[in-house]
Amino acid sequence: MISIIVCSISPARLAQFRENVLATIGVPCEFIIHDNRETGYSITHVYNLCAEKAQGEFLCFAHEDIFFRTQNWGAGIESLLRKPTTGVVGFAGSTAKLASYSGWGAMKQYTRYNYVQQFKDGKIKYFVANPDKVSASPVIVLDGMCLFMRREVWAEFRFDEALFRGFHLYDLDISMAVGQKYVNYVTNDVLLEHFSEGAYNQSWLDDTVLFHKKWADWLPFYLDKPSPVVSYFREIKMSFLFIRMLMKKRIGSWSFVEQCCREHIKRYYWHISSLKLLQRLWKYKRQWRREGLL
């Protein structure tokens, strides 16, 4: 049996999700729902709390803003999870996690995904990346919109409630932990639809910093490790892209942005990206000041 675990804040979305699962899963399941509107627990606490109550051999940690587009998907998921080497299974992830601050899908060549995204403006986009043409793509870290694992795997690693007390980076953290012992996968046999977009904000940034501090000794981590030179230049690129994103999206404090710039320039002073950051630093500082962010 698959235990479907949801940290809920929307009864309407939850009802639609439950109906969709029952119509598509094709195997026995149970729902363990925590209404988080009043308790306001972290998602790590909710997931651990609900997993302790689960009766199923297989656990599904799901957001309520998703739909399964594949019929009878449960049997395939169970088959993949029964492999003793399988860790966490999801729908979007990466075969690398760089040492520079970044999310799971920071560099396109490493991303693996199989889902449909709906955007606020009504547009729909298929995110499909399966270059090896396999039914399940091995990855290191996974996005948390829907995560499957055996009960025994969850019990061995659990979600880190002590460090991640909000709703971000818990997914990268547990998949990174499980990936040290097992193989994580993006399933390409089951198509998922996701109805909300990710939010990049201060809490996301704070948890990103916490994640990189926790895993500093393991990063960068690759499934197929490139040469040291290639790895080094990818870190430069990722560092530059991350700082530029903070500037453009107005994420974090300006002092944190300046600190990141200083560290990048100190480490990569000889690289063209340092000059580009200096140019953008003055440009965006003026914009942030005009917008009252300084």
Read off the pLDDT of residues 69-122 as tens digits, 9 standing for 90 and up.
Answer: 999 999 999 999 999 999 999 999 999 999 999 988 878 999 999 999 999 888
Residue 162 sits in which domain range? 2-214
| Closest to 173 in 3D by CA, of 97, 100, 92, 66 | 97
Q: Let me know if residue 88 belongs to a domain.
A: yes
Read off the pLDDT of residues 155-212 as tens digits, 9 standing for 90 and up: 999 999 999 999 999 999 999 999 999 999 999 999 999 998 777 899 999 999 999 9
Q: Is residue 220 part of a domain?
A: no
Give 178's contacts (C-beta < 8 A, 6+ positions apart).
87, 88, 149, 153, 157, 184
Q: Do 140 and 252 have their domain in common?
A: no
Q: Are residues 209 and 264 in the same domain?
A: no
Domain edge (last residue) among 214, 246, 270: 214
Number of domains in the chain: 2
Reply yes or no: is the peptide bond before residue 84 cis, omega within 30 of 0.
no
CATH of residue 38's domain is: 3.90.550.10
**Mean pLDDT computed over every residue of the chain:** 96
pLDDT digits (tens, 9 = 90+) for 31-49: 999 999 999 999 999 999 9
Whether residue 167 is contained in a domain is answered as: yes
pLDDT above 70 covers a percentage of the chain that reads 100
How distant is the alpha carbon of residue 88 from its chain centre?
12
Q: Position of tokens 């940034």?
A: 205
Residues 80 and 14 grouped into a single domain: yes
95 and 74 in one domain?
yes
| Amino acid at the residue 223 | L
5 near 61, Cβ under 8 Å? yes
Name the residue with higher pLDDT: 30 or 120: 30
pLDDT range class, residue 230, cuts 50, 70, 90: very high
**Three-class SS of 246-263:** HHHHCCCCHHHHHHHHHH
Of 252, 211, 224, nearest to 103 (Cα)?
Answer: 211
Report the alpha-carbon angle 290-291-294, nearest 5: 80
Residue 108 backbone phi and psi in degrees, to 5: -60, -35
Cα(66)–Cα(126) distance, rounded to whole angstroms?
Answer: 14
